[in-house]
Amino acid sequence: MMERNSISLFVNCNYWSVQATVSWLLSEFLEGWSVSIVAEEDVQTLSKPEAASLLSAVVNTVNECLAEAPKYGLQCPKKVLGTSQILEAISRCNSTGGPTGRHWVLDPVDGTLGFVRGDQYAVALGLIEDGKLVLGVLGCPNYPMRKELLNYNHQCNQIKPTSPPSSDIWQKGCVMYARRGTGQAWMQPLIHGDTKFEWPNSATLLQASPVDDPSLATFCEPVEKANSNHLFTEGLANSIGLKNRPIRVHSMVKYAAIARGDAEVYIKFARSGYKEKIWDHAAGVVIVEEAGGVVTDAGGRPLDFSRGLYLEGLDRGIVACSGPILHDKIIGAVYASWDSSNL
């Protein structure tokens, strides 16, 4: 029980610390603008008397993070932030989005199980202006620089690996980002140690895979069966000739894999009654699309981020592909397979 409580405290501390840090930085950088942030956690829970130890941990973590802001060319606070300032920053994360105005969409720790296991997770930030998705940033601390290691930690939880990767090839961690309409998505390696972020940086252009033959494609899907109908996606993959073993990855790293060309297809068909939240997709969608990929619902329609906290009106599921030809083939297979499924 004590170990479970410690893990819960660790996870919750990171959730709120990321929200507070991002909120504070946006408010400072966008001085004079009203900052509206859509996020999963609200300030009410953290404000309760029984959350005093958690709040104290959050305050310490945020101040430690902001102290490193100069490494990235940003201003750090002139003095240590207090409890009231941290709570004020988190309180800005209570937007419900919608069709008008500017709304930042934040998922502070996307892929909680992956985060706890030291596997794949992401810190995701998107920007919606008047209902349109215009900007996406994905921080992927454990994303490996070699494709074959992307599925490694998940496989370790299933079977005992015969040979772990050596330390010299286990280079990992990056930030991906894109702005709508540029036709460009970028990847920047994480900065380690005392290294400072300097411009021009070492970012490289991302390019989705040119593969349009389903038999050569690799597809991603969520790890947890509760989040996706693996049986249907397996049948769909077989029907269109996908031969490669699927990569099951936690979090929006699946979008990162499509954008970088490490996979060609991401399929997610949630079980009946589940509603997709905008913070689970916003950042990844714009990055994939600017890298040359296509993201729609299973009916081939663009995802609608203008209707609040959820992707309302979603047709059955989500299909992300590295290009339009492959995407059309997947959508056609969905229509052909749907009547025989048990979704």
* Annotated binding-site ranges for Mg(2+): 40, 107, 110, 280
3-state secondary structure of 132: strand
Cα distance between residue 98 and residue 148, in whole Å: 40
Closest CA to 174 of 166, 186, 183: 186
User: How many CB atoms lie under 10 A from the CB of residue 183?
Assistant: 11
Six token digits for residue 60: 């310490």
User: How many CB atoms lie under 10 A from the CB of residue 261?
Assistant: 19
3-state secondary structure of 307: coil
Using alpha carbons, list the distances in angstroms from residue 46 to 4, 23, 94.
Answer: 19, 16, 13
Helices (H), ranges, 128-229:
152-156
Residues annotated in a binding site: 40, 107, 110, 280
CA angle 69, 86, 19 (to 5 degrees): 70
Cα distance between residue 101 and residue 259, in whole Å: 28
CA-CA-CA-CA dihedral for 166, 114, 96, 343, to nearest 10: 120
Closest CA to 163 of 171, 147, 152, 150: 152
DSSP state, residue 165? P
Cα distance between residue 15 and residue 197, in whole Å: 25
Do residues 261 and 146 make contact, with C-beta atoms less than 8 angstroms apart? no
